[in-house]
Structure 1
Amino acid sequence: MIQRFLLEELLEKLNHSSKIILIYGARQVGKTTLVKQLLSQVPYKSLSINADEEKYNDVFSSRDLTKMRMLTDGYELLFIDEAQRIPDIGINLKILHDALPELKIIATGSSSFELANRTQEPLTGRTWTFSLFPISFSELRQQQNLFELNHGLETFLRFGAYPDVFSLPNQVDKVQFLTQLTRSYLYKDILELSTIRHPDKIKKLLQLLAFQAGSEVSLNELGNTLQMSKDTVASYIDLLEKAFVVFRLSGFSRNLRKEVVKMDKIYFYDLGVRNALVNNFNTLDFRTDVGQLWENFLVVERLKNNAYQRRFVNSYFWRTYTGAELDYIEEADDQLAGFEFKFSDKTAKPPQSWLEAYPNSDFKCINRANYWEFI
């Protein structure tokens, strides 16, 4: 069992707060396993339900306090799995929480946009909200030393970090799992819970984004390729972000005349998913996209670490029209830090134009010799 960073914080919130706990995350990242582990460490008499079961769905969409009281009577903690499947879940949880503030409530959802839309307004001020990602490199560091982690780095870049990947015994099983995941299961909620006019184009869009991972993405070019408007492409990317499949970085600028900010970079939350979409699980020696994999790996692992450590930063990339660029920028407390990524052990110096524009900023080259300090 890989210890998840969220466990300790969830324990603290559960024991010392009366607020509802919401846990978002993509399918198969381990939300249910995490909550079950949490429940095994607390003394509360718990009722665990799956929102896919109609009998529970009816009760928690009813707005009927009597029904909800009857179901939860005698229990100290209620766990609702896949809560986004319950109509009006937010208002029903508000009714239950306000009437029974002593009842502890945990709800998970595999699709942030639907659960957020259904809970955001009714539950304002009543929740603690967390995001669970695929296994992070820093979580693995709790169980493995740097020698072991370095030895397994290529596997991380090829097959990603979904919990199932670590338990499957061989490459064939890993590939099969990731292939099945990306065919429909990963974005099942998007197709079921959102109005998609061209569902067949979701995967085509994902494949195009996978080939361009870490590159600036033109919505116009994607729209032309998919024969859709750029606004439709933008809305689909937004849904994929909210379903924890991809995320974007914007260009950083305080001087719009010199710096490129019109296009975003797209990254994947999991490299196994990305590689399944392009159907390439080859070893790194036989790949031409190692730089893309390395950049995506570092950016997403930094994102996970920042989220788990509650470091609130703004993240960007930086490029000028003259060609100077930095792979990654962080802004926190009005302080800038720039990073350049190298898959080899080589180092790099900051672009002169970066130093001139932001003389008080920090800079660091992240390579194979020091990457664990960054993530």
Structure 2
Amino acid sequence: MSIGGITYKTIHGKRYAYYQWTENGKQRSRRVKDEEFAELAAKIAAERAQKESLRGVLQGMVAEPVAAYSATPNFKTDVKIGAQLPRFFASVMKWKKRECFAALHDYIYSENNDRVLILYGLRRTGKTTLVRQLMGEMPAEMLAKTAFVQLSSRHSLADVNHDLKLLESLGYRYVFIDEVTMLSDFIEGAALFSDVFAAGGMKIVLSGTDSLGFVFSEDEQLYDRCILLHTTFIPYREFENVLGVVGIDKFIEFGGTMSMGGANYNMDKFTFATKESADDYVDSAIARNIQHSLKCYQHEGHFRSLQELYDAGELTNAINRIVEDVNHRFTIEVLTRKFKSGDLRRSAQNLRRDRFKPTDILDRVDIGAVTKRLKHILQIRDKAELSVGIGEAHRAEIKEYLDLLDLTCDIDVVNMSNLNARVSRTVLSQPGLRYAQASALIQSLLLDETFRNIPIAERMSIEKRILDEIRGRMMEEIVLLETKMARPDKQVFQLQFAVGEFDMVVFDLKNACCEIYEIKHSDRAAREQCRHLLDVKKCADTEFRYGKILSKNIIYRGPAGALGNINYLNVEDYLKGLA
């Protein structure tokens, strides 16, 4: 009976695993149950590795000594080799892959170039999963020379150096080192990986959750000796394809990480499913990321203006404050003004002018009480509650680090009446984080006495309107961000006029032409949505400044179509078409 292997079949859009083997000269196959998949895959991989190793020894063809799977080398870190690896990667082999998997694959299988690959990004964006999936597809002879090293704060660079030398002597050539930024001396000594071991023929992949630390090391020790592969930005098309979660509203609510929720994984677990989990993510993935990296960089000599905030234990609060408000007003005023919810103010204005069911309910609630409860929910303190005053230098440095983490991105807002007065709109690359904080507003409103005492039907209508308003603005930001990321050769911006605006302009400077867009959260086409696109003067002014308008478009949640010369584009199809 042969060892056999696992293959996959897609039936009615669902992927199934099948075990195939040869028995008594006949090919046999059976469906693999989910509960037995991991154990079976590990067994197959281990048997193949042992068989290949034995064949090489018998034929005298093993050019380099490879550690026996029963051996227990004296490693100082947590090193997985041999039969440990199949057990490590078995559970992820049925998961779909992120698009950046191809770059990781190309590095491992390419000719050695003396460089290391840095796989970095915020927590829960799929770094370790990518590594496990790659190892799971390795042929047995490569897997037999592969090691996975798990580090923690108790380890040092000297420990890693010891283990890499030992692995090298045993013939290992593919080494994946996880949580390398946990080493307090990593940034200062990172050149060890490229100059000694990669230059000696090893393929080394470094990964870790403190992605800012990798930015520092690339600028210092690993300059021009590393390949950077960033995982933080997860566009809608990957969210739908990998997790099987369909719809822009689901992306707004949960998008931003690769937590294994969604239809493809039969789970309902998302990083931003609750305000509490979102808060934990900001603290652990963002604030601690910045603080730990600064602590390890230049012997704690790079805190700059943030040193006093860090010493007072208030840096996390400042970062949280910025993340909550960063989408619309990232200025010094965000940090120093008395906290007020922009969502609450905008919702009150929109409810008053609703064409069908106008209401002033949000004008009648106790705004002070609501804001106080909202502050408590968001755990944000006013300037008077901070022992260290926050100034322009603090704001600028925090914004700089958020940009380096790929958490924030600036979208230009151009004023046609004053082209020199260009400002920018800062958006978050993780929409679920923003939505979790916006949902906290609704929780606060539900505690307001006036709001609780109105009829339930009206209350539910108001709640829906508020959330729809939030989703609408977030959808606009998602389209702007993903278009900018996908079309780096074009200028992507909002264009404001004395009255009204184009939600998005895509300007091709080289060919002197542009496309103009309105972005609507509605799922219905209406003539009113086109009014700015059909405005003769607005279009004439735009063509004078940005060239011929190639297309006029409405991006919305309904089906694709056209209304006169206006194209209606479905938002999910539009985002999936960006590449």
Instruction: Name the TM tier (shorter chain).
Output: 0.7 to 0.9
Q: How does 1:105-124 map to 2 (within 5 A)?
A: 105-124=204-223
Corresponding residue to 1:137 among 220, 236, 244: 236
Contact 2:187 2:214 in 1 (8 A): no
Q: Secondary structure at the match of 2:427?
A: strand
- Shift of the alpha carbon at 1:32? 0.9
| SS of structure 2 residue aligned to 1:232 | helix
Cα contact 1:91–1:119 (8 A) shared by 2: no
CA contact (8 A) 2:324 2:434 kept: yes
Q: Which residue of structure 1 lines up, in the alignment, with residue 117 of structure 2?
A: 21
Is 1:249–1:315's contact at 8 Å kept on the other side of the alignment?
A: no
> Which residue of 79, 98, 102 maps to 2:176?
79
Confirm or deny: 8 A CA contact 2:417 2:497 kept in the other structure: no
**Is 1:354 aligned with 2:542?**
yes
Q: Which runs of 5+ in 2 are unaligned?
A: 1-94, 295-302, 338-382, 384-388, 443-462, 559-569
CA distance in 2: counterparts of 1:233 and 1:96, whole angstroms? 40
Query: Post-superposition shift, 1:115?
Result: 0.8
Q: Secondary structure at the residue paired with 2:128?
A: helix
Aligned to 2:517: 339
Aligned to 1:264: 424
Q: How far does residue 94 in structure 1 lie from its aligned partner after superposition? A: 2.5
CA distance in 2, matches of 1:71, 1:248: 45
Aligned-pair CA distance for 1:107: 1.3
Q: TM-score, normalised by structure 1?
A: 0.80
Matched residue SS, 2:147: strand
Candidates 58, 76, 88, aligned match of 2:158: 58
In 2, the alpha carbon distance for the partners of 1:48 and 1:22 equals 15
Other-structure match for 2:31: none
Letter in 1 for 2:436: A
- Give the aligned partner of residue 166 of structure 1: 261
CA contact (8 A) 2:217 2:223 kept: no
Which residue, 69, 88, 96 being the options, matches 2:196?
96
Distance of 1:359 and 1:333 partners within structure 2? 8
Deviation, structure 1 residue 9: 3.0
Instruction: Quote the residue 2:557 is aligned against.
Output: 368
Q: Paired residue for 1:325? A: 501
**How much has 1:104 moved relative to structure 2?**
0.8
SS at match of 1:52: coil
- Name which one, 1 or 2, has greater alpha-carbon Rg: 2
Amino acid at match of 1:297: I
Going from structure 1 to structure 2, the CA distance change for 1:325 and 1:89 (only over 3 Å counts) comes to: farther
Q: 2: CA distance between counterparts of 1:7 and 1:172?
A: 22
* Residues 1:48 and 1:290: Cα distance change in structure 2 (over 3 Å): same
Q: Distance in 2 between matches of 1:39 and 1:56?
A: 26
Shift of 1:318: 3.0
Asked whether the equivalents of residues 83 and 108 of structure 1 are also in contact (C-alpha less than 8 Å), the reply is: yes
Alpha carbons of 1:297 and 1:285: their partners in 2 closer, same or farther (altered >3 Å)? same
Query: Runs of 5+ in structure 1 lacking a partner?
Result: none
Distance 2:474 2:545 in 1: 29
Identity over aligned residues, as a percent?
16
d(CA) in 2 for partners of 1:172 and 1:341? 27
Distance 2:549 2:129 in 1: 42
Label 1:172 to 1:133 Cα distance change in 2 as closer, same or farther (>3 A). Answer: closer
Assess if the C-alpha contact under 8 Å between 2:403 and 2:409 holds in 1. Answer: yes
For residue 37 of structure 1, what is the amino acid of its counterpart?
Q
Q: Is the 8 A contact 1:248 1:266 kept in 2?
A: yes
Does 1 or 2 have the higher relative contact order (CA < 8 Å, sep 6+)?
Answer: 1
Change (3 A) 1:149 1:172: closer
Deviates more, 1:283-292 or 1:188-197: 283-292
Is 1:210 paired with 2:324?
Answer: yes
> Partners of 1:170 and 1:10 in 2: how far apart?
27
- Kindly provide the CA deviation profile for residues 284-340 of structure 1, in whole angstroms up to 9, marking residues without a partner as x: 554242222212332344466x2xxxx533554233463553333445672544433
TM-score by length of 2: 0.54
Query: Quick check: 1:209–1:266 contact (8 Å CA) kept in 2?
Result: no
Structure 1 counterpart SS, 2:425 = strand
Pairs within 5 Å for 1:250-289: 250-251=412-413, 257-258=418-419, 260-261=421-422, 263-280=423-440, 285-287=465-467, 288-289=469-470
- Aligned pairs for 1:202-241 within 5 A: 202-211=316-325, 213=327, 215=328, 217=329, 219-225=331-337, 226=383, 227-241=389-403
Distance 2:393 2:285 in 1: 25
Native 8 Å contact 1:31 1:108 kept in 2 = yes
For the pair 1:40 / 2:136, whether they are aligned, the reply is: yes
